């Protein structure tokens, strides 16, 4: 269900259960976390997450769940959240290609990814009004931050799904492309470019962005962290290579350290 392939410096992780729109049960979420751990051990310099078939991920697989004894907290807090945290902290740039349904846990996978390209016709939102459940996996935080309280609750109350192009226009994700194949091609190309870049500097920016998001840093606090990150990068091979290439008027050859 979770496929991992490593192509040079790029890891490709694919949710591969298209018959169920790549919905994730407990074991699939654990396997996804294991795939990220394996990619980290391999030392890749970029990672692509995609879903096989007509959907990225329709959320949790509830086909065999009995709501009378469902351990929701065990699934979400005990299994899903740690995997999302691992994904978010992955020590290299991460990219997701999303088409079709991106719901529930599937939306959470996108939230935990650095750069997200979506198909124009992707479906994003909170369809849980019909289930008597609520939006999970970080959806409230993303929607309130980007859409505001009123639009967030409108989506939740009505169960209306946003298109990919609408979500990008609202600032939820990175880019919208017209077709599923275009999304995957563009995502893979972006990851390949990043993997040849100064990935140590990219990861420094990734951590700064996470601190701004999670710690709500002010301007001067953020600037102090930027200054410290820049000073640390001065000791890296890529920093020296970047300056040398500029001074010698040639393209830089970055190694990721």
CATH superfamily, region 2-195: 2-enoyl-CoA Hydratase; Chain A, domain 1 (3.90.226.10)
pLDDT at position 36: 98
Residue pair 22/16 in contact by the 8 Å Cβ criterion:
yes
pLDDT at position 68: 79
pLDDT digits (tens, 9 = 90+) for 78-102: 999 999 999 999 999 999 999 999 9
> Where do the domains of the chain lie?
2-195, 199-248
- Distance, in Å, from the CA atom of 57 to the CA atom of 141, rounded to the nearest integer, reads 19
Neighbours of 219 (CB within 10 A): 7
Output DSSP code: residue 80. I
pLDDT at position 64: 79
Residue pair 34/49 in contact by the 8 Å Cβ criterion:
no
Closest CA to 98 of 120, 82, 80: 120
pTM for this entry: 0.94
Q: Tell whether the model's pLDDT for residue 69 goes beyond 90.
A: no
- Distance, in Å, from the CA atom of 98 to the CA atom of 118, rounded to the nearest integer, reads 5
pLDDT digits (tens, 9 = 90+) for 170-199: 999 999 999 888 999 999 999 999 999 999
Output DSSP code: residue 138. T
Q: Tell whether the model's pLDDT for residue 45 goes beyond 80.
A: yes
How much is the average pLDDT of 221-250? 92
pLDDT digits (tens, 9 = 90+) for 3-14: 999 999 999 999
pLDDT digits (tens, 9 = 90+) for 121-131: 999 987 877 77
Q: In this predicted structure, which of 27-41, 79-93, 233-247 has the lowest mean pLDDT?
A: 233-247
- Distance, in Å, from the CA atom of 98 to the CA atom of 113, rounded to the nearest integer, reads 11
């Amino acid at each position: 269900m979770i496929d991992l392939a490593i192509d040079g410096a790029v890891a490709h992780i694919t949710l591969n259960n298209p018959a169920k729109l790549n919905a994730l049960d407990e074991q699939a979420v654990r396997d996804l976390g294991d795939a990220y751990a394996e990619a980290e051990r391999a030392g890749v310099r970029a990672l692509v997450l995609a879903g096989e078939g007509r959907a990225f991920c329709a959320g949790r697989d509830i086909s065999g769940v009995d709501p009378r004894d469902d351990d929701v907290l065990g699934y979400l807090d005990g299994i899903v959240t740690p995997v999302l945290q691992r994904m978010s902290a992955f020590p290299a740039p991460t990219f997701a290609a999303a088409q079709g349904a991106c719901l529930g846990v599937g939306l959470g996978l996108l939230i935990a990814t650095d750069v997200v390209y979506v198909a124009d016709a992707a479906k994003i939102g909170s369809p849980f009004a019909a289930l008597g459940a609520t939006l999970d996996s970080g959806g409230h935080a993303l929607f309130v931050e980007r859409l505001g309280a009123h639009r967030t609750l409108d989506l939740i109350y009505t169960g209306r799904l946003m298109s990919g192009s609408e979500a990008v226009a609202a600032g939820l994700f990175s880019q919208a492309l017209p077709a599923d194949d275009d999304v995957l091609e563009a995502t893979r190309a972006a990851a390949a470019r990043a993997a040849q870049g100064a990935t140590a500097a990219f990861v420094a920016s990734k951590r700064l962005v996470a601190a701004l998001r999670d710690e709500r840093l002010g301007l001067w606090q953020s600037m102090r962290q930027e200054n410290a990150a820049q000073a640390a990068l001065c000791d890296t091979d890529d920093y020296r290579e970047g300056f040398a290439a500029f001074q010698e008027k040639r393209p830089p050859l970055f190694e990721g350290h």
